[in-house]
Amino acid sequence: MNAREAANHVLSEAGEPLHVKEITRRILVDQSWKGSSKTPEATVHAAIAMDIKKKGEGSVFVRVEPATFGLREWGPGPGVEGRGKTYSFTEAAKKVLEQFGDKRPMHYGDITAKALEMKWVSTKGLTPEATMYSQVITEIKRQKSRGEQPRFVKHGRGYFGLSRWMGEGLAFEIEQHNRRVHKALRDKLLEMAPSRFEELIGELLAELGFEDIEVTGRAGDGGIDVRGTLLVGDVIRTRMAVQAKRWKPSNRIQAPVVRNVRGSLGTREQGLIITTSGFSKGAHEEAARTDAAPVGLMDGDQLVALLIGNDIYISRQSHDIIQLEAQEQEDD
């Protein structure tokens, strides 16, 4: 896929508008596009913006807010001035369940019918029910893979409800447990020896598809801790130089750190800073400079999500839980 096609794919799976930063992050995680650009976020943003500029109403994309995009097939979103209150399928499902579910599961066919009746979704597709089912299921799977509690719960035979209706039940307990694991994992990262943290970053890169990984931090290499090569289709090789910062959340990375990493890059290398903390506005601005080699930024939340998504330092457990299926309404 090219950047435009990958963005279309990510938005189709998301079922709701996303900021270009999140679109790019999901593209890189899914590896649906592995271009050689040193500024993937800028490349994705430009591809979407150019598509809208050239094709106008014929573009598959629609700008909802600054740097935030959705798909035109969803209809106008709530952030588009003068276009009414049309939502993505997942947002419309949430509204239907909130206003008409009476805290009871509804069949996806009924959810879709009510969403269309209320004009909360607009689609040219011939099977909106199938789209609704697919979008809700995709969201559930994605959030579960990240160790998050999905906002929708599947009750069997096409019935869905909202997880927050189960605030005192099993779903709530699972959510609270996973939140504790998220925090415990982040605390574990902060307690690691610097050398072990660098090794962990090397392990994560390997899970993400990098090869020729070398942990260099202990020997000293201009501030670079890990180097690796992302191989795409045995054709494209992208060399990445990574600096790992095991900092407390309150200690945000500033612009000078970004400049130092950029100055340590070798020929045709891309930079990446991975931290347990976060980045200042100045660091983001410095990383996005168009007149210099770009440096990617991965904060603590993104790091923990990727570790969980790749089953690093976590294990998954599943148990069979039985319950009566929601009863279909009898025909009048």
CA distances from 71 to 16, 19, 54, 217 (A): 8, 13, 16, 43
Mean pLDDT of 115-132: 83
Termini Cα distance of the chain = 50
- How many other C-beta atoms lie within 10 A of the C-beta of residue 291? 4
217 and 110 both lie in a single domain: no
Per-residue pLDDT at 275:
95
Compute the C-alpha angle 221/225/230, nearest 5°: 110
At residue 175 the predicted structure's pLDDT band, cuts being 50, 70 and 90, is confident
Residue 198 reports pLDDT greater than 80: yes
pLDDT confidence band for 172 (50 / 70 / 90): low
Lowest mean pLDDT among 30-34, 242-246, 249-253: 30-34
Predicted local distance difference test score (pLDDT) of residue 332: 46
208 and 304 part of one domain: yes
The domain tally of the chain equals: 3
pLDDT of residue 217: 65
CA 126 to chain centre: 28
- Beta strand pairing status for 236-245 and 269-275? parallel
195-199, 228-232, 304-308, range with the lowest pLDDT: 228-232
Compute and round to an integer the Cα radius of gyration of the chain.
22
Instruction: Out of 24, 56, 83, pick the residue that ends a domain.
Output: 83
Question: Residue 319 domain-assigned?
Answer: no
294 and 280 inside one domain: yes
Claim to verify: residue 125 and residue 35 sit in the same structural domain: no
CATH, residue 200:
3.40.1350.10
The model's confidence at residue 326, banded by pLDDT at 50, 70 and 90, is low
pLDDT at residue 29 in the model: 82
Find residue 106's DSSP bridge partners. Answer: 160
CA proximity to 160, closest of 89, 209, 216, 211: 89
- Asked if residues 217 and 195 have their Cβ atoms less than 8 Å apart, the reply is yes
In a domain, 173, yes or no: no
Q: Tell me, what CATH number does 75's domain have? A: 1.10.10
Domain that holds residue 104: 87-166
What sign results for the dihedral spanned by CA atoms 153, 156, 160, 161? negative
- What pLDDT is attached to residue 283? 93
Looking at the fold, whether 202 and 283 belong to one and the same domain comes out as yes
Please tell me what DSSP assigns to residue 164: G
313 pLDDT more than 80: yes
Is residue 189 scored above 90 in pLDDT? yes
Asked if residue 293 and residue 213 are part of one domain, the reply reads: yes
Q: Which of the pair, 13 or 277, is modelled with greater confidence?
A: 277
Per-residue pLDDT at 319: 74
Domain boundary among 67, 83, 99: 83
> 7 and 69 in contact (C-beta within 8 Å)?
yes
Phi, psi dihedral angles at 107 (to 5 degrees): -70, 145
Q: Is residue 13 part of a domain?
A: yes
CB 48, CB 8: distance < 8 Å: no
Distance CA 265, CA 268 (A): 8
Q: Which of 34, 65, 83 is the last residue of a domain?
A: 83
Q: Do 97 and 65 share a structural domain?
A: no
